Structure 1
């Protein structure tokens, strides 16, 4: 039996948080990475540079950064272990403008003692912003760990809560992503 070959493409767009690298595997979004992001794959794994598969992703990110979109509706390819995928699914269930603790996510997964494992899975989320790992905070309410940097996490949370200056672009300002 012949192994299937995955086709990857990527593009880089601008955002209020710096350049974002979008990666598609077989035409489906499989990565959204910030510059200097922890656990960012090597550039050579991103495939050819081609913006073609990213139109809907870019449109929804533009709307999100403009303050007009609160929930993404995109097909996603989340490659990881079954546990990681269960954590990432929990992230998708955190509403815009709200936060959850690592412990709350572990509890929701039926394993209250797994908050550290939840944190590790959260940190390996391959599709930042859209799979909102920035909405997870420490038990004390502190901003702990974020692959894109704590400054970006703080700015994303401030943006979603409507606090002025959260994103560097006021809601409705039409931040350009190209």
Structure 2
């Protein structure tokens, strides 16, 4: 059995037996490896540990049950977890929210949103009481508002520019030194949040490669998974996914258009040059 066949067999085993919540020893035994060597091999090939992969499978199954209005105790039992506290920990670790918050789709959450002009085009920006939760370059206001509703289906949306949004918009007017003062309210998997946090450390006017971002989260072989997480960034520009380029020096694709990415990097470089 070669390495690929071992990983394939392990993934199939995890998918078929996740309700039993198998431990590392259980899965390693299926592919005839020691737990230590299996852990390393799986992490190198899949970009995440076997435990994290099992959590992803479990939480996706649990989300399906919650959407069918099963109770938290029922979902815990059906997912193979020992109780609702473990379900809570699983959701907080992977989704960044409680099972109840996922189930109600943001109900009772008020989100203020507004449209604004920037040097790179019009944007829709949205915020909760905790911080900016959404920022996207917009081509069609109606479509972009629907995207916001889809992300927070039961939230109360109010068209209103609040202090959090005003503070964030200052960044487009040259106040780029104060990014750390901008509050963000993000929901995502633990892996996504880790990648987005790493992007915040790329200095203004600089670039990084997908490989260096993967190295920044101590997972140097996860470049492809990092690229997916970067593509899912919900807050354009403030979380600077535009500063990530390919190792060849090619700028690469950008969710909101490669020309816009080029313009952003040029604008930042010019601002840095003007300071020196």
Q: TM-score range by the shorter chain?
A: 0.7 to 0.9
CA distance in 1, matches of 2:110, 2:168: 23
**Is residue 104 from structure 1 mapped to residue 207 from structure 2 by the alignment?**
no
Distance apart, 1:43 and its partner CA: 4.3
| Higher normalized contact order (CA 8 Å, seq sep 6+, divided by chain length) | 1
CA–CA distance in 2 between the matches of 1:121 and 1:60? Answer: 22
Following superposition, the deviation at residue 70 of structure 1 comes to 3.1
1:21-73 C-alpha deviation (Å, 9 max, x unpaired): 01113452101111259xx661434722111x2x34334423x3333423411
Aligned to 2:221, the other structure's residue is in SS state helix
Q: What is the aligned partner in structure 2 of residue 30 from structure 1?
A: 133
Instruction: Return the match for 1:67 from 163, 171, 174.
Output: 174
Deviations, residues 56-107 of structure 1 (Å, cap 9, x unaligned): 4334423x33334234111111111000000000001111011100000101
What is the RMSD of the two structures over their aligned residues, measured on CA atoms?
2.4
**For residue 123 of structure 2, what is the aligned residue in structure 1?**
20
1:49 counterpart = 2:159: yes
Greater Rg, structure 1 or structure 2? 2
- Bigger proportion of residues as helix: 2
| Structure 2 gap segments, 5+ residues each | 1-71, 73-99, 102-106
Name the count of aligned residue pairs.
159
CA distance in 2, matches of 1:50, 1:60: 14
Provide TM-score, normalisation by structure 2.
0.53
Structure 1's unaligned 5+ residue stretches are 164-170, 172-178
1:114-164 alpha-carbon deviations (Å, 9 max, x no partner): 00111110011111111111110011111112111101110000000007x
Distance 1:132 1:160 in 2: 11
